[in-house]
Amino acid sequence: MAKKRVFSGIQPTGQIHLGNYLGAVKNWVDSQDEYENIFCVVNSHAITTTQDPKELKEKTYELAGMLLACGIDVEKSNLFIQSEIDEHPALAWILDCNIPMGEMNRMTQFKDKSSKNAKNVNVGLFNYPALMAADILLYQSDGVPVGEDQKQHLELSRNVAMKFNRDFGECFKIPEPLIPKVGARVMGLDDPSVKMSKSAKGNNHAIFLLDSPEEILKKFKKATTDSHNAIIFDETRAGVYNLLSIYEVFTHKSREMIENEFAHKGYGEFKIAVAEVVIEALRPIQEEYLRLSTEKGYIQKVLRAGADKVRPLAKATYQKAKDLVGLV
């Protein structure tokens, strides 16, 4: 049987952090043998907010290098840059013309991002979900590894694909969400009521993949917990639950084993233990990234090869959609 195809993308803005890694990238890496994989640096999405052009280009290659350092294997996965495939924005226009305004108006991420960036609320930010749908549907994706916050955008992708197929004829596969049971939503260390974010301003909010061991330890030591004593998996105690979930993902231990391990220990010892497993897990990633950062030519070669492999599929899907709506 042919493997199911998955598509996912990540923006080259800010530094990649522990939430990005555990919620998305680590799952991409761990499931590479299971699926036919298409992974994309979605740089076109990044320009919905103002970017320095030179910096955006640099960060695009830096992110690609980080994905390779994290374990994306070019023998098992296709990795490419979104803007190298012209069919992404071309299909997005066709989808734009088939998405009701009401559905777009319901997108909570637009409301959130526009409220945070009121001086630059542009049409691209509003239409972001249509381009995301095009990213997914171009490659006839069976599944999309997504975090909880992206479920709404994937649902729109499914809706527009079903509507298009009904109105014009079969064109797109209807993708299913692939959401990891653990680590899908890593919260901020300083405020465990909000998801870990690249844009948060607090110095102790996020663990970035290139943080030094000293920085990681310092941030975990300052992580918000509570006034209770027991270190147990209790979702109502957001700070402790967040740290325990991070520890669970990296150690692969059962929840019962973890609770027994910290049964007679205090928060100070617990935080150090979490920091140590994160430091050890990130060490080989950091070492490989430093090696790859000196080989920009190799990274560019990988990205070109990835684009060359997926371009025929993108062209075929776009051509079919174009024909079905009557474009010549």
Q: Which residues are catalytic?
A: 113, 195, 198
Sheet harboring 5-10: ordered strands across? 77-81, 36-41, 5-10, 143-145, 176-178
Report CA torsion sign: 13, 75, 301, 79.
Answer: negative
DSSP 9: E
User: Angle at Cα 40 formed by Cα 39 and Cα 44, nearest 5°?
Assistant: 165
CB 174 within 8 A of CB 164: no
Judge residue 79's burial from the number of C-beta atoms within 10 Å of its C-beta, 0-12 exposed, 13-18 middle, 19 or more buried: buried
How do beta strands 143-145 and 77-81 pair?
A: unpaired
CB 160 within 8 A of CB 136: no
CA atoms of 13 and 45, how far apart (whole Å): 10
Please spell the DSSP secondary structure of 133-197, one letter per residue.
HHHHHTTT-SEEE--GGGHHHHHHHHHHHHHHHHHH-S-----EEE--SSSSSPBPSS-TTSB--
From residue 49, give the alpha-carbon distance in Å to each of 45, 124, 162, 176: 9, 9, 30, 29
Residue linked to tokens 């959609």: 321
CA separation for the pair 191, 206 (Å, rounded):
10
Tell which residue, 62, 85, 12, has the closest CA to residue 300.
Answer: 62
CA nearest neighbour of 9 among 102, 145, 142: 145
